[in-house]
Amino acid sequence: EDKVVQSPLSLVVHEGDTVTLNCSYEVTNFRSLLWYKQEKKAPTFLFMLTSSGIEKKSGRLSSILDKKELFSILNITATQTGDSAVYLCATSGTNAGKSTFGDGTTLTVKP
Amino acid sequence: DGGITQSPKYLFRKEGQNVTLSCEQNLNHDAMYWYRQDPGQGLRLIYYSQIVNDFQKGDIAEGYSVSREKKESFPLTVTSAQKNPTAFYLCASSIDLEYNEQFFGPGTRLTVL
């Protein structure tokens, strides 16, 4: 059974801090790992990672995948209160339609 | 505007009643999905569909049913057989099953009294 574990479960920081969110996985025939941000309701897509060692960046957010050690990290630099959300990590494997989600990391950024 | 709509936003039902949640997309996506989210947890896959008139069970399909008669629509029925139906339900779509980036609707919060 595929498994995704995120850590920490929750994190409280102050504006301007840098945070690192972790996602480890066990997936049969790994295809991809995705990061989503969930603020109130609908998760929104952040990154899709398929290759090891290639950093994906979008503004203050970046992510990288290590397929040997089976984990990914999501970095957020110079955090803002608008970054407060639940960050979800998901993987897909043998069956392309079946993504496995972690329980998420709840990030709270205080002014 | 392209996107996914779900209705209703909030739904209350008495125990023992079946209830159908609506999901419509105008993104021209082939694949659609239903997830359940409980407090403090990630998303768990209920059903997914690759094309019209075809759908597959996810990890927690018991007590749920779906149909895919049109490309744009993927309604979910929560039956009385679902033992703990109170949850937040999210519908999503993607270009196809191979392209994993999913676009999510705003969700329906179902409360069974």
Is A45 near chain B, with CB under 8 Å? yes
Q: Which residues are B109's β-sheet partners?
A: B10, B88
The tokens describing B92, both together, are 């999503």
In angstroms, the CA A74 to CA A49 distance is: 11
Which residues of A are less than 8 Å from B35 in CB distance? 101
Closest CA–CA distance from residue B26 to any residue of chain A (Å): 17
Residue B14 contacts residue B30 (beta carbons within 8 Å): no
Six token digits for residue A90: 């998901």
Averaged pLDDT, A36-49: 92
Token pair belonging to A84: 């407060």
Residue B105: list chain A partners with CB under 8 A: 42
Partner-chain contact B100 A41, CB within 8 Å: no
Residues of A in contact with B34 (CB under 8 A): none
Average per-residue pLDDT for chain A:
93
Mean pLDDT in residue range B57-73: 95
Q: What is the pLDDT of residue B16?
A: 87
Q: Which residues pair with B88 in a beta bridge?
A: B37, B109
Any chain A CB within 8 A of the CB of B103? yes
d(CA B68, CA B45): 16
More confident residue, B19 or B100: B19
What percentage of chain B exceeds 90 in pLDDT? Answer: 77
Per-residue burial over A13-43, b = 16 or more CB atoms within 10 Å of its CB, e = otherwise: beeeeebebebbbebeebbbbbbbbbeebbb
Give pLDDT, residue B80. Answer: 86
* CA–CA gap between residue B60 and residue A47 (Å, rounded): 26
3-state class of A37 per DSSP?
A: strand
% of chain B at pLDDT higher than 70: 98
Q: Is the CB of B100 less than 8 angstroms away from the CB of A32?
A: yes
Say which of B35, B50, B104 has its CB closest to residue A97.
B50
CB atoms within 10 A of CB A4: 21
C-beta separation of A43 from A55 below 8 A: no
Residue A70, helix vs strand vs coil: coil
C-alpha distances (whole Å) from A24 to each of A4, A72, A76, A97, B38 are 6, 6, 18, 20, 21
pLDDT attached to residue B2: 66
Burial tier of A59 (Cβ tally within 10 Å: 0-12, 13-18, 19+): exposed
User: Where is pLDDT greater, at A29 or A84?
Assistant: A84
State whether B90 and A45 contact (CB < 8 Å): no
Most confident segment among A19-28, A49-58, B91-100: A19-28
pLDDT of A90 > 70? The answer is yes
Average pLDDT in the A41-55 region? 90
**What per-residue confidence (pLDDT) applies to A92?**
87
Buried b (16+ CB within 10 A) or exposed e, B28-66: ebbbbbbbbbeeeebbbbbbbbbeeeebeebeebeebbb
- Whole-number pLDDT of residue B110: 95
Q: What CA–CA distance (Å, rounded) separates A52 from B39?
A: 32
**Could you read off the pLDDT of B3-56 as tens digits, one per residue?**
999 999 999 988 888 999 999 999 999 999 999 999 888 899 999 999 999 999
